[in-house]
Amino acid sequence: METSVRRATIYLDEVVHKALKIKAIETSRSISDIVNSAVKASLAEDAEDLAAFEDRANEPLLSYDEMVKRLKKDGRI
């Protein structure tokens, strides 16, 4: 599957940029490739979190006090 590539300008902290340059050299990858991979991983994690929220949307809500009582009963606190 061929994907199109779009150009974007981002501003990185000097230390982050230096670390990316070093990682790019050590891994024989471009900074763009490293950043793309990191962004994709972050977006995938967000999607997993949203799916988990949807799966649990119909669960009953517990008050803070009820949760503390359950944790104490189970010996977790």
pLDDT in tens, 3-25: 799 999 999 999 999 999 999 99
pLDDT in tens, 19-69: 999 999 999 999 999 999 999 999 999 999 999 988 888 888 889 999 999
3: left (phi over 0), alpha (psi -120 to 50) or beta: beta
How far does CA 74 lie from the centroid of its chain? 31
Q: For residue 38, report the phi and psi dihedrals to the nearest 5 degrees.
A: -65, -40
pLDDT at site 53: 87
pLDDT at site 2: 65
Choose between 60 and 72: higher pLDDT: 72
Q: For residue 53, report the phi and psi dihedrals to the nearest 5 degrees.
A: -65, -40
3-state secondary structure of 77: coil
